[in-house]
């Protein structure tokens, strides 16, 4: 079992490191085409990373080590997400199962590291992005925990692998009202957490609207490469989680070479399809004002809370 | 004589010796000469507590001819645990105090009060009867009040804090005393064993529970009794505020545990719900106030209210679940509450000491004037950073393990073998999870702000720019605290097992070590192994570090005065975000709760309406509970106090009449 878990973890990391920039490239390309632009092509994020790794990073004099360590922490946090989440397969490690609270905390390491990188730049932009980013992160957390809590009740465990497994075994719970409510709430939380529309506009560099980009503004060279790669990996991994919760078929439950291949192909297909759907949806959305974001999050929290109490009292 | 008896007598002897030395030693030697016996006193407390936890029995009996049960000091395992917590904080605080205390904080009285304060805290958990409990409690309060007042002559705010502290402490004391009195009247004894025989569910038990909850909740800084905290903790010398927040507050927790586990173990569900409401409200209100505060010590003080709120939330959940027979989840919640208390003791002590180090180096508490301390004070930055991670419950610290366990117990508490436990539990548990999640999110923001604004970026004042690292002794206690935060987080299995065992053999089964010092909760089927998580992160970090090493050789980093600076080369440090601006979005979001008062003054140039010469913005977030609840109450009291002056005008005839009337009433009452 432990070998199966290790192989799947390695496969997940490998697949997502390759896939994440591609997902972002596809999203940007689809958006460009829908807006009537030619677009840079789906491989542009890869080329960006290669370019950044070849540049000399420029750092402020007298800045602390945070500008160097923070980006690595962001990337490590995202890679840990890829290791722990049930993406290619649902075979968890015995000692660190894909426990909901552990995964959220691992994600928060990246959130904190990014916010500190933003503050360390010592400019108004970095602080502004960091402050807004942390405010959104603080308000997202209740929804995030409660929506997965609602999904965990039918499975009887907070381990995400077991939740996906349970949905695979009894597919009728996927379309139960409780599950739909919880998935919608989770989707809103993930959009906010990964800085997508309508909470943050990943394409903008307009100073008053930036959240995520404002924190990266002083980073350059490989520091910037790690920050970008980290945020792409997080987006791809969380899309993969949602995909597996909605369409659990294809996930490796019994270890084998063919199953692994099938799992890899299906998760890649699921993430890409979901990414395209997300982009198409985003084209029709405008970014909401920063001070309306809490209302959106309060709404998603209400959905998640309804899902939890309903699954206790109805089921 | 038993080990425990010898330990307790040694503590008393060392405390007496320290007091004598404090009064006689020469001023230049005072800190060291007194600090050594005080440190030994704390170490003796650790040894005695550890002995009590390992099952040693015995103690000392105070010879006293009162018509009560005998006064016996004999800590049980739970008391031993709290003795260890309090004493460990004492060691850190004293070593820091030797290095940091200057001026009034290093006076004869202040050094004499420290051992009194510590020994009081160490003896409260040793008490086995209500009289000695209350005596030790008052010794603790006395010591802390004197310590707080050290600086009263030079700063008016200290005197005001002293009055608030004394009033709130005495309120707590009175409520606890009343609680014991109710139980004593119902059972006819004063020892805990006798008090525990009160009939469960009787009126006396309910009344005593309410009195205890308010009394101990007040000591543990719960809303609405927290009003003294943001005044007292910032005004006391830093090592004293560390001791108050790290240790004294835990005595309030100990009291609550004593009530819920020992004295009144058979609780109806509404007790649990009441504790959960009180805890949840404190957690949310505390962290909300902390997140918008710009004064580092006020921030830490409010965060203490938050942490204690979480402890009580866990305790309440455990009471509620036990009354619904969900024993496994109840045990896990109880252990989680205790682990939260342990980890809070460690990280909050370190944080307050870190704040002390900052004010030692810069003479500044206001985050808005700090910045860039990370490169100037690397040891302090490391310790404060690790402790902040603990406070924000980020893996691999102690705070994370405790919060994880609490959340696990809550989400498994709603159901037992697939059946809903009770309607109350199935509403209370999701709400509690949501409260903890929001609290955790805001705590994250609070401590990113505290650490990021103080230690990162560029100095916002010349005091911060000229800061130097603190002397070695202070560094030692800071780093020791930080290492303890990491150690407790990396070996949660053994820690949880030891903590669980203090409640008795049944609870001891609820947490077991597993794997590489990880912790497993067999009753609710949950596993956590932070060491494995660390190994895993090291493995995924390895390729990145290799790429960095290769890339750094070919493309070394360049340093420039300001790489981009938002497009402007003249961006001054004052243009950076400050703590106030960092929390501004949050103040807007929670406008209805915080009720900030904002004052914007725009000065125009000459006759122009468009050219602005100067803009002044002032924002003040006051404590809503203080202004809405306490102020009106105090005003009413003051008005009647003025009226009462007419009744007591100094006339001896009038006073004699009062005595006569009182005597008459007494006779009538007796004759009825």
For the residues of B341-386, what is the DSSP string, one character each? HHHHHHHHHHHHHHHHHHHHHHS--BGGG---HHHH-HHHHHHHHH
* Cα B216 to Cα B121: distance, rounded to the nearest angstrom: 14
Residues 32-91 of chain B with CB under 8 A from chain A are none
Tell me which of A50 and B201 has the higher pLDDT.
A50
B window 105-144, beta carbon within 8 A of A: none
Coil/strand/helix, residue B155: coil
> Within the 337-396 window of chain B, which residues sit less than 8 Å (CB to CB) from chain A?
371-372, 374-375, 381, 392-395
Subunit contact A59:B557, Cβ cutoff 8 A: yes
pLDDT at residue B2, rounded to an integer: 86
Tens of pLDDT along B545-585? 999 999 889 888 888 776 676 666 656 788 888 888 899 88
Strands B558-560 and A58-60: parallel
Q: Do B566 and A149 touch (CB under 8 A)?
A: no
DSSP line for B216-284: HHHHTT-TTSGGGHHHHHHHS-HHHHHHIIIIIHHHHHHHHHIIIIIIS-S--HHHHHHHHHHHHHHHH
The confidence score (pLDDT) of residue A72 equals: 95
Beta-carbon separation of B544 and A75 below 8 A: yes
Can you tell me the distance from the alpha carbon of B616 to that of B620, in angstroms, rounded to the nearest whole number?
Answer: 13
Distance separating alpha carbons of residues B575 and A125, to the nearest angstrom: 10
pLDDT value of position B615: 86
* Cβ <8 Å between A123 and B585: no
Beta-carbon neighbour count of residue B2 at 10 Å? 14
pLDDT > 90? residue B620: no
* Residue position matching structure tokens 């998580």: B533
Question: Distance of CA B167 to CAs B191, B216, B228, B305, Å?
Answer: 28, 15, 9, 18
Predicted local distance difference test score (pLDDT) of residue A215: 86
Note which residues in 538-567 of chain B have CB less than 8 A from chain A: 540-541, 544-545, 547-548, 551, 554-566
Question: What is the C-alpha separation between B275 and B290, in angstroms, rounded?
Answer: 22
- Cβ distance A109 to B394 less than 8 Å, yes or no, reads yes
Whether the pLDDT of residue B143 is over 80: the answer is yes
Chain-centroid distance of CA B177 in Å reads: 22
Model pLDDT, residue B41: 94
Task: Give residue B619's pLDDT.
Answer: 81
Residue A196 gets the label, from left (phi > 0), alpha (psi -120 to 50) or beta, of: beta
B575 touches chain A (CB under 8 A): yes
Which has more pLDDT, B632 or B650?
B632
Phi, psi of B33, deg, nearest 5: -60, -40
How many Å from the N-terminal Cα to the C-terminal Cα in chain A? 33
Residues 6 or more apart whose Cβ sits within 8 Å of residue B560: A58, A59, A60, A61
Bond preceding residue A198 cis, omega within 30 of 0 = yes
How many Cβ atoms from other residues are within 10 Å of residue A208's Cβ? 8
Domain count, chain A: 1
Report helix, strand or coil for B532: helix
Size of interface A-B (CB pairs under 8 A): 259
Q: Which of A267-271, B100-104, B211-215, B544-548 comes out lowest in average pLDDT? A: B100-104
> What pLDDT, in 10s, does the model give residues B335-356?
999 999 999 999 999 999 999 9
Contacts of A78 in chain B (CB under 8 A): none
Cα of first residue to Cα of last residue in chain B, in angstroms, is 52
Q: What is the mean pLDDT of residues B526-532?
A: 87
> Which range in A206-215, B143-152, B210-219 is most confidently predicted, on average pLDDT?
B210-219
| E strand spans, A9-142 | 58-60
At B414, list the tokens.
């709603």
Gap between the Cα atoms of B455 and B461, Å rounded: 13
CA-wise closest residue to A24 among A194, A141, A144: A194
Parent domain of A157: 2-313
* CA–CA dist B27, B34 (Å, integer): 11
Q: How far apart are CA B588 and CA B402, in angstroms?
A: 31
**Comparing C-alpha atoms, which of B630, B547, B643, B589 is closest to residue B228?**
B630
* Tens-digit pLDDT string for chain A (315 aa): 688 888 899 999 999 999 999 999 999 999 999 999 998 999 999 999 999 999 988 887 777 788 889 999 999 999 999 999 999 888 888 777 788 889 999 999 999 999 999 888 778 888 888 999 999 999 999 999 999 888 888 888 888 998 999 899 888 888 888 899 999 999 999 998 888 878 887 776 666 667 888 888 888 889 999 999 999 999 999 999 999 999 998 888 888 888 899 999 999 999 999 999 999 999 888 888 888 888 999 999 999 998 888 887 765
For range B125-135, the mean pLDDT: 92
**3-class DSSP state of B614:** strand
CB contact under 8 A, A105 and B393: yes
Listed residue (B283, B600, B662) closest to B437, CA to CA = B283
Complex confidence, ipTM? 0.94
Neighbours of A61 (CB within 10 A): 10
* Closest in B525, B555, B581 to A131, CB measured: B581
* Count of other CB atoms within 10 angstroms of residue B559: 12
* Average predicted confidence (pLDDT) for chain B: 89
**Does B662 score more than 60 pLDDT?**
yes
Answer whether residue B301 shows pLDDT above 90.
yes
Contact B557 A57 (CB under 8 A): yes
pLDDT of residue B274: 94
Q: Does residue A308 contact residue A153 with C-beta atoms inside 8 Å?
A: yes
What is the rounded CA–CA span in Å between residue B154 and residue A109?
Answer: 43
Nearest to A72 among B514, B541, B564 (CB): B541
- Cβ A72–B545 below 8 Å, yes or no? yes
Is A105–B563 a contact, with Cβ atoms under 8 angstroms apart? no
Q: How confident is the model at residue B417 (pLDDT cuts 50, 70, 90)?
A: low
Look at residue B416 and tell me whether its pLDDT is greater than 70: no
pLDDT value of residue B512: 83
pLDDT of residue B568: 62
Q: Do A123 and B571 touch (CB under 8 A)?
A: yes
**Beta B518-521 vs B526-528: how paired, if at all?**
antiparallel
Cβ atoms of B148 and B236 within 8 Å: the answer is yes
Provide the residue count of chain B.
Answer: 672
CA-CA-CA-CA dihedral for A252, A253, A258, A260, to nearest 10:
30
């Amino acid at each position: 079992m432990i070998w199966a878990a290790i192989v799947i973890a390695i496969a997940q990391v490998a697949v997502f490191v390759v896939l994440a920039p591609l997902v972002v490239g596809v999203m940007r390309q689809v958006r460009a085409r829908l807006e009537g632009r030619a677009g840079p092509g789906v491989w542009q994020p890869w080329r960006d990373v290669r370019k950044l790794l070849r540049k000399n990073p420029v750092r402020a004099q007298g800045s602390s080590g945070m500008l160097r360590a923070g980006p690595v922490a962001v990337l490590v946090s995202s890679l840990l997400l890829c290791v722990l989440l049930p993406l290619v397969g649902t075979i968890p490690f015995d000692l660190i199962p894909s426990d909901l609270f552990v995964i959220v905390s691992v994600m928060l390491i990246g959130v904190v590291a990014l916010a500190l990188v933003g503050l360390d730049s010592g400019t108004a932009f970095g602080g502004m992005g960091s402050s807004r980013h942390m405010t959104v992160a603080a308000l997202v957390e209740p929804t995030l925990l409660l929506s997965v809590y609602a999904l965990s009740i039918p499975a009887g465990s907070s381990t995400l692998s077991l939740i996906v497994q349970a949905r695979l075994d009894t597919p009728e719970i996927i379309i139960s009202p409780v599950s739909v409510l919880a998935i919608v709430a989770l989707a809103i939380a993930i959009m906010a957490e990964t800085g997508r529309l309508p909470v943050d506009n990943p394409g903008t560099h307009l100073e008053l609207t930036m959240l995520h980009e404002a924190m990266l503004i002083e980073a350059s060279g490989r520091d910037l490469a790690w920050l970008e790669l980290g945020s792409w990996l997080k987006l791809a991994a969380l899309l993969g989680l949602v995909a597996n919760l909605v369409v659990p078929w294809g996930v490796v439950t019994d270890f084998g070479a063919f199953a692994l291949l099938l799992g890899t192909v299906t998760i890649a297909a699921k993430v890409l399809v979901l990414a395209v759907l997300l982009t198409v949806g985003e084209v029709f959305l405008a970014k909401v004002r920063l001070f309306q974001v809490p209302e959106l999050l309060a709404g998603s929290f209400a959905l998640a809370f309804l899902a939890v109490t309903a699954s206790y009292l109805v089921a | 004589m038993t080990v425990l008896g010898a330990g307790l007598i040694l503590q008393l002897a060392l405390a007496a010796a320290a007091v004598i030395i404090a009064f006689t030693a020469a001023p230049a030697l005072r800190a060291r000469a007194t600090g050594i016996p005080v440190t030994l006193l704390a170490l003796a407390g650790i040894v005695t507590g550890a002995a009590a936890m390992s099952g040693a029995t015995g103690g000392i009996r105070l010879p006293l001819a009162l018509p009560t049960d005998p006064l016996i000091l004999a800590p049980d395992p739970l008391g031993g645990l709290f003795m260890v917590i309090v004493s460990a904080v004492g060691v850190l605080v004293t070593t820091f105090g030797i290095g940091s205390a200057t001026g009034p904080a290093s006076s004869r009285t202040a050094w004499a009060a420290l051992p009194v304060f510590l020994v009081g805290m160490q003896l409260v958990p040793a008490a086995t009867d209500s009289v000695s409990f209350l005596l030790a409690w008052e010794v603790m309060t006395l010591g802390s009040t004197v310590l707080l007042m050290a600086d009263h002559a030079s700063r008016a705010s200290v005197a005001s804090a002293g009055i608030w502290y004394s009033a709130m402490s005495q309120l707590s004391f009175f409520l606890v005393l009343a609680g014991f009195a109710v139980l004593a009247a119902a059972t006819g004894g004063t020892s805990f064993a006798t008090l525990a025989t009160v009939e469960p569910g009787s009126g006396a038990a309910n009344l005593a529970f309410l009195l205890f909850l308010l009394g101990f909740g007040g000591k543990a800084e719960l809303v609405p009794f927290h009003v003294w905290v943001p005044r007292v903790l910032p005004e006391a010398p830093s090592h004293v505020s560390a001791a108050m927040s790290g240790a004294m507050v835990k005595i309030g927790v100990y009291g609550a545990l004593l009530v819920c586990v020992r004295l009144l173990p058979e609780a109806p569900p509404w007790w649990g719900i009441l504790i959960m409401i009180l805890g949840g409200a404190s957690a949310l209100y505390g962290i909300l106030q902390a997140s918008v505060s710009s004064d580092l010590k006020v921030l830490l003080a409010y965060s203490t209210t938050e942490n204690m709120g979480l402890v009580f939330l866990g305790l309440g959940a455990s009471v509620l679940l036990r009354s619904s027979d969900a024993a496994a989840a109840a045990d896990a919640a109880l252990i989680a509450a205790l682990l939260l208390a342990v980890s809070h003791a460690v990280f909050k002590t370190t944080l307050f000491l870190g704040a002390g180090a900052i004010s030692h180096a810069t003479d500044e508490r206001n985050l808005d004037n700090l910045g860039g301390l990370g490169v100037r004070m690397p040891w302090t930055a490391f310790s404060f950073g690790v402790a902040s991670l603990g406070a924000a419950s980020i893996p691999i610290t102690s705070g994370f393990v405790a919060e994880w366990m609490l959340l696990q117990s809550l989400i498994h508490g709603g159901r037992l073998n697939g059946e809903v436990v009770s309607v109350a539990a199935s509403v209370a548990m999701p709400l509690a999870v949501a409260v903890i999640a929001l609290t955790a999110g805001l705590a994250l923001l609070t401590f990113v702000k505290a650490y990021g604004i103080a230690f990162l970026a560029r100095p916002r004042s010349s005091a911060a720019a000229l800061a130097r690292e603190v002397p070695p002794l202070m560094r030692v206690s800071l780093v020791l605290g930080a290492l303890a935060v990491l150690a407790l987080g990396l070996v949660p299995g053994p820690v949880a097992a030891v903590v669980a065992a203090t409640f008795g053999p049944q609870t001891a089964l609820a947490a077991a070590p597993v794997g590489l010092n990880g912790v497993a909760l067999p009753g609710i089927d949950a596993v956590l192994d932070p060491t494995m998580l660390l190994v895993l992160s090291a493995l995924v970090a390895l390729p990145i570090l290799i790429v960095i090493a290769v890339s750094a050789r070919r493309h070394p980093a360049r340093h420039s005065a300001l790489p981009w600076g938002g497009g402007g080369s003249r961006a001054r440090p004052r243009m950076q975000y400050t703590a106030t601006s960092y929390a501004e979005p949050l103040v807007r979001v929670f406008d209805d709760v915080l009720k900030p008062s904002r004052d914007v003054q725009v000065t125009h140039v000459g006759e122009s309406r468009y050219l602005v010469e100067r803009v002044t913005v002032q924002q003040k977030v006051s404590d809503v509970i203080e202004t809405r609840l306490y102020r009106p109450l105090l005003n009413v009291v003051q008005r009647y106090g003025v009226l009462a002056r007419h009744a007591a005008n100094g006339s001896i005839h009038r006073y004699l009449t009062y005595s006569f009337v009182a005597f008459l009433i007494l006779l009538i009452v007796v004759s009825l």
